[in-house]
Amino acid sequence: MTHPFYSLFDYHTRQRALTDLTRLVRWSKDIIEESPFLNSGLYIGHSGGKDSVAVTWIATQVLGTSVPIIHSAKPSGENAVHPEAMKLIYSIAEYRSVLLYPRDSVPPAEYATQIDGTKACEFDRTDGRHTDVIVDGELVSRKELKPYVKNGLFGKNFIFPLYDWEDCHVWALIYYEQLPFSKEYLE
């Protein structure tokens, strides 16, 4: 099967994404390194999706593998985690710490800051998933997304290293670095 980087994007978009990649990865690493929350119980939020794959790789390049990954499982219903995404999560757990929490549960207080793959460009998605983020207890459009959010969802701090990326950039990173991704994207 064709890699999503080739099946989803035309030649010019792929070339632009690859050209932008080095700059964007450096920028995203800087966002993590310069975060005001670096000493605040870091963890990587991982949904099993492509953006989580990219942000996990970037965070690991900066912080190593000691930062745990937390997955909040959505076992059933309309927004359930795809079985292939769960296979990816379980495969990651074979070589590094992955903590699983039920949907809508809050990770313990020692996990105060989530490194997250949310992107501003998804402010208008129409597939039923949330398009807003929480900042100081208020819903804010992803269009207004910034790299750091204090007091976000569940009162956690958030670092958004991919906030200004597009899908083509995420797939370019996954393709270029040959990162494993959920096979749901091949369906």
CB 171 within 8 A of CB 117: no
Q: Which 3 state secondary structure label does DSSP give 77?
A: coil
CB 103 within 8 A of CB 73: yes
pLDDT of residue 156: 87
| Nearest Cα residue to 182 out of 79, 88, 46 | 88
Residue with tokens 């990954």: 69
pLDDT of residue 168: 97
- As a CATH number, domain 9-34+41-180 is 3.40.50.620
pLDDT tens per residue across span 119-143? 877 765 555 555 566 667 777 766 7
> Is pTM, for the whole model, over 0.75?
yes
Bigger pLDDT: 123 vs 100: 100
- Residue 172: pLDDT band (50, 70, 90) is very high
**Domain coordinates in residue numbering, the chain:** 9-34+41-180
| Nearest Cα residue to 29 out of 3, 55, 2, 67 | 55
pLDDT of residue 52: 95
Cα angle: 167, vertex 169, 172; to 5 degrees: 110
Lowest mean pLDDT among 4-18, 96-110, 125-139: 125-139
